[in-house]
Structure 1
Amino acid sequence: MSKIKKVDIISINTLLCQVIEGYEYYHYSFNYSTMKRFLEPEIEFIDRQSLAKELIEGIIINHGKKDILKSIVKLADFEQKAQELKPELRDHVVHALLCYVFGAYIYESFLKPSGIIINDIQWKIACLFHDIGYPVEVANEIGIKYSKTVNSISNNIGFPVDEVYFKTVPINFEKLQNNKNSFDLIQKNLDSWGLKINAKQEYDKNIDSGRVCHGMISSLSVLRIIDILYQKNNPERIFEEKIVDGVDWNQRWFIEDIIPACSAIFCHNLPPECFKESKINRHNAPLAFLLRVTDCLQEWERPSKENPEGYLSTKFNLSIDDEKLILFADIPLERKFKINSELQAALIAEDIVIQ
């Protein structure tokens, strides 16, 4: 593999635009001219969001899973509209697509040459839809703040009453067809990846504490919807070709592609303490590894409450060779320290840093 050294470029988006032009269309399924416009540094953020949605739809359609597109993209629309309730929220639509193309670059230039293989449909589903459960997390946070306000007003009145509280308890998200349970299927993947994480226990711990993890909700939502689609189109769940409206609903693809993708989504936002006994190893769990790497490192073009304008892509540059991936970032040191800490807490990735 030829080494790619850090060079003077306008922005990391420009670098991505240059390198992805040669990627096989079949694997990544995006329209290059549209992607090029999406990556232009000078484009307005609202236009970038619109192009991101268009590209995500095209990526799924071009894979031949239109039913999955129509169902899951509705959740992505819902996620985008959550910003109307809480304008300071970080964007997740542009983030998902930047992670997708950034991850493609990391895979092709850094992981694949070392013999690591990641299935294209797994990457499409895991990366593009890893944050669609975010509105549930936001709704829970809004409810908690609302109840605190009610309690504050009540206390100021000076009359003793019981405090109110808000708690989100998702019902039946884990239930699949044929009496299957999402936690059982996800757990098998976590075990096979060598991760000492109890999926159901971590989920219950979050709910009992009054918190909602958008990664868990995203995972359960995607798995439930796709499971229903498979049940509709392959009710016997046969492990052989089952073509319906030009799409193969072979149960094999559900087991080998969909469940691992949703398991990677489940892992991507787990707190560091979940990985104290076992970190994500790229050789055992390449999909979960790549998703966590890109989600942590993709810091540009992401407005937030603390940074309403977001960091420009011109503040980021990249170096990749056989031995190390370095993301150069002209951002506050404390932010870089936090990102590095998040990476190293969950991954075996001493050769990946932001500096």
Structure 2
Amino acid sequence: MGIKKFIKKFFDNLEIYEDQYHGTKYKKEIYISITQFLDNKTEINAYNVYKAFFEAYWIGIQDEVNPFLELTQRMKNFEEFNGKLLENHRDHYIHTVFVFLLGLSIFAENTNYRKIFSEYALDKSKYPDFYDTPNEEFFYRWGLSALFHDIAYPLEIIIKQTNEYIKFVSEYSDTIGETGINIKLSTNNSFFNLPILKPRSESKDRFNAKYNKFQSRFLDNSISLLAYTLYENFNLNLHEIKNNLDNFVENMNENNRIDHGFFSAIIMLKWYHYLIKRTNWNPAYFYFPILDSSSSILLHNYYKHTLMEDPFNLSQIRARQHPIAYLLILCDELQEWNREGYGKMDIKDDAPTDFDLFIDELELKIKYKYLQKTNNNDFLKEKHEKISSIVKINDIFKNGIKIE
């Protein structure tokens, strides 16, 4: 069964609240954009997938320019032009759409994952306001996470460009000596401040009745919000994880690097906080699904590079700990096809151009397809080992995954 059939199955079992109660046709529009993209995997068709999703889940006045859509375009343009100055840099614009579709396919075909997500997110005692429409809560959280997870890549490109140029200048002649440059990202506390969102006066009593026991997680700072989420989900020491995230920007500055996952998560929190505050929507939408998606974006890099290292030393991520982050890490690692190479070395690489996909209750099989025959055994072995080292695969696929 190919990915088109998986996607059709997902949409056959999806209902969108706005379609049911306000006469919109968002489900149809999103599905059409996806099928057109799968028929012709171009940037304009990828754009239409972003457009359809972010219009369906846009908080605000519909005739305004959608800033989320504009942000994805700026990311695409930046990496397309500036990625050429790097040794290695691949597309993240079409990549992100494929990550999104791969996650929908796994959800459609794997009961184990659906059950885990349902137990995690669809519990009225924990979050009473989740979408009651079939599979929409997953669709919403997953769409935000998958389509937004690489949005801060331009920041990472800037650092890499500068380092590569300085390295070239320094290494040409031993008379130049050691040369270095440090780009310091300056952020003060106000950059992370997110004043606690309040419900409308007419719904205050109802909101407090639902969420009074969760007031401890309604914090006024994006770092604190992310730290508390990781503390809850992974049973961490709250002081340690908060301290690590508080010092994360300084650590990046000292090591002259940028973690795009960290800043993608921060951007999502800042932007959605602004929209919900401006429109006076239910604050729970921010503190539950949006925070969940944002923390998954953070984790798609942070889990491997920080939480699996000292002082946390976590083992592979489990699906029940954070279903959206688990799926994002898995799909992000699997997606290797149709990724245009912008870097000088990437242009020369023989990269996969297409794929075959099989998913059922027991296993996932993916076969990378190439324009010409290639010996990729080492790549496939490394890919499988890397995924298995980060993600507990048999949480959802009892027979594991097979990569060819």
Interval containing the TM-score (normalised by the shorter chain): 0.7 to 0.9
Structure 2 residue 194 is the aligned partner of structure 1 residue 177: yes
Alpha carbons of 1:73 and 1:329: their partners in 2 closer, same or farther (altered >3 Å)? same
- Residue 51, structure 1, aligned to residue 67, structure 2: no
Of 300, 325, 330, 2:337 maps to 300
Distance (whole Å) between structure 2 residues aligned to residue 126 and residue 347 of structure 1: 17
Q: Trace 1:1-355 onto structure 2 (pairs within 5 A).
A: 12-16=2-6, 18-20=8-10, 22-24=12-14, 26=16, 29=27, 30-40=29-39, 43=40, 48-66=42-60, 70-82=66-78, 83-87=80-84, 89-110=89-110, 111-117=112-118, 119=137, 120-152=139-171, 158=175, 163-172=179-188, 174-178=191-195, 180-194=220-234, 196=236, 198-234=244-280, 249-270=281-302, 271-272=304-305, 274-275=307-308, 276-304=313-341, 305=343, 306-308=345-347, 310-313=351-354, 316-330=355-369, 332-350=376-394, 351=397, 352-355=400-403
Please report how far the alpha carbon of residue 24 of structure 1 lies from its aligned counterpart in structure 2 after TM superposition.
2.0
| Contact 1:194/1:278, CA 8 A, preserved across alignment | no
How far 1:259 sits from its partner (Å)? 1.1
2:387 counterpart letter in structure 1? L
**What is the deviation of 1:17?**
5.2
CA RMSD of aligned residues (A): 2.9
Kept in 2, the 8 Å contact 1:60–1:66? The answer is: no
Letter in 2 for 1:103: G
Deviation at 1:257, TM superposition (A): 1.3
Q: Using the alignment, how far apart are the partners of 1:226 and 1:150 within structure 2? A: 42
The alignment partner of 1:268 has SS state of helix
- Kindly indicate whether the alpha-carbon contact (under 8 Å) linking 1:61 and 1:69 is maintained by their aligned counterparts in 2: no
Secondary structure of the structure 2 residue equivalent to 1:116: helix
How many pairs were matched up? 321
Q: Which digits, 9 at most, give the CA deviation of each residue in 1:140-163, with x for residues without a partner?
A: 11121233344457x56x477x73
Gaps of 5+ in 1: 1-6, 235-248
In 1, are the aligned partners of 2:337 and 2:368 still within 8 Å (CA)?
no
Q: 1:259 to 1:113 in 2, by over 3 A?
A: closer
Corresponding residue SS for 1:177: coil
Note the alpha carbon deviations across 1:274-319, whole angstroms, 9 max, x for none: 3242432111211111111111111111123455474122xx2223
Q: Following TM superposition, by how much is the alpha carbon of 1:233 offset from its aligned partner in structure 2, in angstroms?
A: 3.0
Q: Equivalent residue of 2:366, what SS?
A: strand
Q: Report sequence identity in percent.
A: 20
Structure 2 unaligned segments of length 5 or more: list them: 18-25, 122-136, 197-219, 371-375
Aligned equivalents of 1:221 and 1:282: distance in 2?
A: 25
Aligned residue for 2:12, secondary structure, equals coil
**Shift in CA distance, 166/145, structure 1 to aligned 2, threshold 3 Å:** farther
Whether the 8 Å contact between 2:99 and 2:332 is mirrored in structure 1 is yes
Indicate how the Cα distance of structure 1 residues 58 and 89 shifts in structure 2: closer, same or farther if over 3 A, else same.
same
Return 102-111 or 61-70, whichever deviates more: 61-70
**For the Cα contact (< 8 Å) 2:7–2:101, is it kept in 1?**
no
Are the equivalent residues in 1 in contact too, given 2:3–2:357 (CA < 8 A)? no
